Amino acid sequence: MKRKILIIDELSPYTYFIKRVLSNEGYEVGVAEILPDHLHELDQNRVDLILLDIKIDNGQGLNYLKQISQNINLDIPVIVISDSKNLTEIENAFKSGAYDYLIKPINLRDMKNKIEHAFKSKYIKKARS
């Protein structure tokens, strides 16, 4: 079964390029501009990982991240994407539940490594529970 990645970012050629790269790596990839109103949809649709632009939806990305990480039914790693190298923003993302952080423009090798690491970590965590 293919692992499913949801990209929450503005619908742009760049986002669709990332989608194509990840699809070519064998992932099933969806794109959305906002977080689904009902978080249980993420669980029902078996989203395995989220790439979330922190500045999406007029800066709502951090709120989205908090909603995802505080929902006890979801065990989905979230990799935050931003064009900011601001340490406070990066720190706030991790405090809010980010698994990892990517800075735009995204280094594709770095993105692939972080995604694979997240999946390995998630598998290890589930095996221990």
| Residue closest to 15 by CA, chosen among 26, 29, 4, 1 | 29
Q: What is the pTM of this model?
A: 0.89
pLDDT in tens, 20-73: 999 999 999 999 888 876 677 776 678 899 999 998 888 888 999 998 888 866
Query: In terms of Cα–Cα distance, which of 45, 40, 100 is closest to 72?
Result: 40
The CA distance from 43 to 98, in Å, is 18
Domains, the chain, with CATH or none: 4-128 (3.40.50.2300)
Place of tokens 């395995």: 48
